[in-house]
């Protein structure tokens, strides 16, 4: 006989580790000591990302991120050098930041940091390497976009924005070709080598000389402010509307229902994220329960915000069996409407509140995860106790907060429904779903 169900006791109180901050030359260090965590995560954050790129050099950040891997000697020499120290290079370009880093066993930290600093500050940037990496990136665009869900996500920008966001972060399949080795060198000189940035270090830091690490990474580079931002305008076109990106023979359709949202600093995080969690942020969220667990149309469905310094996007996404595409869209939109009209249940409120408060020890159980939170704090200029403040926000959350957030942040009437699938099969069923006018495009026509 099974035992009776145990009561859940009270959770222990949790505080995010308080980071140590020091200034070294023009740069700042934000460090968290996790005793016993032998794998150190180190991240150098520059607060200029893809959004700040000029329109004649779209993709220069992403390309530079790749070219840094060629190292001070050029010819793809950095990664092998780091590999010999058991270190792993990472670089990530977002709309708002340029992040480089290494994950390395603490015993080899100093050697790895020396290589890392040279790689970021003094790369060769050989023209041959830049052209080789650029051509690879251009070809990779279509290799990756051969996956229906990737193509759907990349199609969004041009539907919601004019300006830089209309072209994918890495410059897309066309415009990146205009980025020259000179443009890469200029970007590197102006935005990376001369700008100190902020260094995030997390791991077992007993015996680590942070000051010396800072000197090694920052050199004589100077501090620089984050770029000014202005909210980009939407493109013309009726809303809501449906865009079918043709993928002949597709046995599933990739769907994204997306609309504009306020910027990161304008959004009230616990309320907005909370309502997104109810709609699609968790396995037990409404979209997944309906489309997967009740209808069996999909392997999974979800939603999230993509919030930037100057603007934002809310999106719900899934991949469904081709013949269920139309019903999947109407069912998903019904879930939007229902949440706006009737709000959340007490159960859902409790679930949102609990998952974002008692779960923090799980969320921050690795050095990488703690480093990720600190990078977010640096990029968006948040207070060091942001994680704890956010938790307090969730603890205060009420049903009214989430109900009003559903109306404020879910805007199905302003949505673009992007469907990557077999247009011949979809045109007819999608023309009568009441989600606005329908346009069919080939993938190649989306970026010029």
Partner 1 sequence: MGQYTLDNGLRLVTVPASTGQVAAVNLWYGVGSRHEVPGRTGFAHLFEHLMFQGSGNVVKGEHFDVVERLGGEINASTSTDRTNYYETVPEHALDLILWLEADRLSTLREGMTQEVLDNQRDVVKNERRQRYDNQPYGTALERILRLAYPEGHPYHHPTIGSMADLDAADLDYVKSFHKVHYGPDNCVLTVISGLDPEDVLARVKHYFGPIPARESAPEAPDASLSAPLGGPVRDAVTETVPAAGVFAGYRVAPYGTREFDVMHLASAVLGQGQGSRLYRSLVVDRPIAADDGGAAADLLPFRYTDSLLLVNMLSRDGVSGDELEAAMREEIAKLASGITEEELDRARAVLERDHLQSISGPAGLADALGSATQLLGDPELVFTWPERWADITAEEVRSAVERLLVDDNLLIVRFDPETDGEPAGGVPETAAP
Rule CB under 8 A: which of 110-139 touch partner 1? Answer: 132-133, 136-137, 139
From the list 25, 72, 88, 194, which residue makes contact with partner 1 (rule: CB under 8 A)?
Answer: 88
What residues does 367 pair with on adjacent strands? none
**Residue 72 in contact with partner 1, rule: CB under 8 A:** no
**Residue 21 in contact with partner 1, rule: CB under 8 A:** no
Give the whole-angstrom CA distance, residue 237 versus residue 107: 57
**Residue 191 in contact with partner 1, rule: CB under 8 A:** no
Stretch that binds partner 1, among 28-36, 48-56, 187-195, 264-272 (CB under 8 A): 28-36
Chain positions 424 to 443 lying near partner 1, rule: CB under 8 A, are: 424, 442-443
CB neighbour burial string for 271-298, b if at least 16 within 10 angstroms, e if fewer: bbbbbbbbbbbbeebbbbbbbbeeeebb
Count of residues in the chain: 448
Give the whole-angstrom CA distance, residue 223 versus residue 195: 6
DSSP assignment of 100-147, as one string? EEEEEEGGGHHHHHHHHHHHHHS----HHHHHHHHHHHHHHHHHHHTS
**Residue 79 in contact with partner 1, rule: CB under 8 A:** yes
Structure tokens at 393: 């926000």
Least distance CB 156 / partner 1 (angstroms): 17
Give the whole-angstrom CA distance, residue 352 versus residue 356: 6
Instruction: Select 282 or 435, whichever has its Cβ closest to partner 1.
Output: 282
Query: What are the distances in angstroms from CA 294 to CA 212, 256, 324, 331, 429?
Result: 58, 20, 13, 11, 22
From the list 357, 387, 410, 447, which residue makes contact with partner 1 (rule: CB under 8 A)?
Answer: 357
Three-state DSSP class for residue 401: helix
Stretch that binds partner 1, among 161-169, 235-243, 265-273, 349-357 (CB under 8 A): 349-357
**Residue 153 in contact with partner 1, rule: CB under 8 A:** no
Chain positions 407 to 426 lying near partner 1, rule: CB under 8 A, are: 424
Instruction: Select 102 or 239, whichever has its Cβ closest to partner 1.
Output: 102
Through-space distance between the first and last CA atoms of the chain, rounded to whole angstroms = 67
**Residue 9 in contact with partner 1, rule: CB under 8 A:** yes
From the list 177, 226, 358, 440, which residue makes contact with partner 1 (rule: CB under 8 A)?
Answer: 358
Instruction: Select 52 or 120, whichever has its Cβ closest to partner 1.
Output: 120
Least distance CB 211 / partner 1 (angstroms): 26
- Residue pair 62/134 in contact by the 8 Å Cβ criterion: no
Pairing verdict, β 198-203 and 27-33: parallel
**Residue 361 in contact with partner 1, rule: CB under 8 A:** yes
From the list 185, 223, 226, 363, which residue makes contact with partner 1 (rule: CB under 8 A)?
Answer: 363
**Residue 34 in contact with partner 1, rule: CB under 8 A:** yes
From the list 87, 99, 169, 333, which residue makes contact with partner 1 (rule: CB under 8 A)?
Answer: 87
**Residue 236 in contact with partner 1, rule: CB under 8 A:** no
**Residue 194 in contact with partner 1, rule: CB under 8 A:** no
Cα 335 versus chain centre, distance: 25
From the list 69, 273, 290, 403, which residue makes contact with partner 1 (rule: CB under 8 A)?
Answer: 69
Instruction: Select 224 or 369, whichever has its Cβ closest to partner 1.
Output: 369
What residues does 102 pair with on adjacent strands? 42, 89
CB neighbour burial string for 192-230, b if at least 16 within 10 angstroms, e if fewer: bbebbbbbbbbbbbeebebeebbebbbbebeebebeeee
Chain positions 286 to 345 lying near partner 1, rule: CB under 8 A, are: 289, 292-299, 319-321
Total of residues contacting partner 1 (CB under 8 A):
89
- Residue pair 270/356 in contact by the 8 Å Cβ criterion: yes
From the list 364, 382, 402, 430, which residue makes contact with partner 1 (rule: CB under 8 A)?
Answer: 364
């Amino acid at each position: 006989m099974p035992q009776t169900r145990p009561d859940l006791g009270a959770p222990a109180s949790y505080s995010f580790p308080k980071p140590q901050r020091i200034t070294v030359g023009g740069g700042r260090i934000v460090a968290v000591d996790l005793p016993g965590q032998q794998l150190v995560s180190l991240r150098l954050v520059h607060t200029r990302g893809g959004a700040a790129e000029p329109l004649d050099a779209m993709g220069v950040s992403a390309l530079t991120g790749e070219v840094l891997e060629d190292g001070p000697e050029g010819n793809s020499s950095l990664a092998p050098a780091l590999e010999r120290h058991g270190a792993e290079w990472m670089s990530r370009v977002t709309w708002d930041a340029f992040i480089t880093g290494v994950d390395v066993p603490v015993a080899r930290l100093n050697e790895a940091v020396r290589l890392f600093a040279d790689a970021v500050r003094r790369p060769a940037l050989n023209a041959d390497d830049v052209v080789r990496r650029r051509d690879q990136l251009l070809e990779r665009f279509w290799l990756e976009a051969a996956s229906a869900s990737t193509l759907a996500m990349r199609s969004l920008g041009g539907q919601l924005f004019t300006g830089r966001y209309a072209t994918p972060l890495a410059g897309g399949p066309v415009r990146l070709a205009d980025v020259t080795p000179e443009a890469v060198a200029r970007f590197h000189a102006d935005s990376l080598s001369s700008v100190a940035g902020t260094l995030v270090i997390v791991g077992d830091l007993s015996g680590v000389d942070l000051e010396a690490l800072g000197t090694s990474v920052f050199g004589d580079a100077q501090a620089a402010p984050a770029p000014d931002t202005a909210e980009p305008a939407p493109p013309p076109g009726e809303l809501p509307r449906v865009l079918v990106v043709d993928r002949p023979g597709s046995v599933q359709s990739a769907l994204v229902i997306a609309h504009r949202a306020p910027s990161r600093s304008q959004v009230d995080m616990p309320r907005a994220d909370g309502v997104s969690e109810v709609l699609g942020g968790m396995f037990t969220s409404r979209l997944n329960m309906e489309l997967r667990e009740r209808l069996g149309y999909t392997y999974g469905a979800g939603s999230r915000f993509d919030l930037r310094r100057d603007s934002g996007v809310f999106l719900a996404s899934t991949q469904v069996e081709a013949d269920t595409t139309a019903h999947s869209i109407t069912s998903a939109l019904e879930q939007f409407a229902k949440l706006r009209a009737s709000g959340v249940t007490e159960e859902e409120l409790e679930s949102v509140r609990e998952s974002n408060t008692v779960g923090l020890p799980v969320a921050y159980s690795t050095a990488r995860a703690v480093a990720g939170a600190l990078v977010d704090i640096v990029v968006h200029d948040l207070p060091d106790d942001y994680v704890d403040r956010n938790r307090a926000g969730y603890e205060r959350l009420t049903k009214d907060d989430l109900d009003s957030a559903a109306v404020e942040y879910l805007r199905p009437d302003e949505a673009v429904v992007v469907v990557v699938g077999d247009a011949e099969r979809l045109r007819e069923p999608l023309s009568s779903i009441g989600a606005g006018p329908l346009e069919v495009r080939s993938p190649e026509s989306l970026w010029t």
